[in-house]
C-alpha cells in the first residue's frame, strides 16, 4: 500500500473478490432463513424469469407483439426471489472479472 496525499492506493497485484464476500453474507442469510427456503426461492425465481421470457417470445412470434407489462412484472418478481441464490453471485462474478481485468491492465 502506498500513501499519497492522504489516499491509500492499492498495490498492482491486488485483486477483488466480491463474489467471495457475498458468499459469506449468503451463508449468514441461509443459516437465518434455512437453506431449503433460499434454494426454493432461487428455483422459483429462475423459473419465473424463464417462463416470462418464453411466454413473451411465443406471443411475439404468434401475434407480432409481446405483452411488455406482464413480462416486466414477472421478471421483477422472479429476480427478487432469485437474488440471494442466483442473481447476486452471477452479477458479482462478472463484476469481479471486469475489475480484476482493469487492475491487471492499469499499472
Burial of 100 (0-12, 13-18, 19+ CB in 10 A): middle
The reply to whether 66 falls in a domain is: yes
Distance CA 23, CA 84 (A): 9
Residue 58: count of CB within 10 angstroms of its CB: 11
Identify which of 100, 78, 86, 103 has the alpha carbon closest to the alpha carbon of residue 22.
Answer: 86
The reply to whether 72 falls in a domain is: yes
14-65 per-position pLDDT tens digit = 788 888 888 888 888 888 888 888 889 889 999 999 999 998 888 888 888 7
Q: Distance of CA 66 to CAs 47, 48, 60, 61, Å?
A: 19, 17, 4, 8
The reply to whether 43 falls in a domain is: yes
Give the pLDDT confidence score for residue 24 in this predicted structure: 86
Give the pLDDT confidence score for residue 107 in this predicted structure: 63
What is the number of domains present in the chain?
1
The reply to whether 73 falls in a domain is: yes
Domain that holds residue 42: 34-86
The reply to whether 21 falls in a domain is: no
Amino acid at each position: 500500500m502506498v500513501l499519497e496525499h492522504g489516499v491509500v492506493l492499492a498495490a498492482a497485484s491486488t485483486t477483488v473478490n466480491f463474489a467471495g464476500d457475498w458468499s459469506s453474507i449468503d451463508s449468514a442469510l441461509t443459516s437465518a432463513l434455512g437453506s431449503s427456503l433460499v434454494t426454493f426461492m432461487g428455483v422459483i425465481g429462475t423459473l419465473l424469469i424463464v417462463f416470462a421470457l418464453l411466454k413473451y417470445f411465443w406471443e411475439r412470434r404468434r401475434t407480432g407483439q409481446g405483452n411488455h407489462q406482464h413480462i416486466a412484472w414477472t421478471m421483477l418478481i422472479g429476480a427478487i426471489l432469485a437474488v440471494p441464490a442466483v442473481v447476486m453471485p452471477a452479477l458479482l462474478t462478472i463484476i469481479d472479472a471486469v475489475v480484476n481485468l482493469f487492475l491487471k491492465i492499469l499499472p
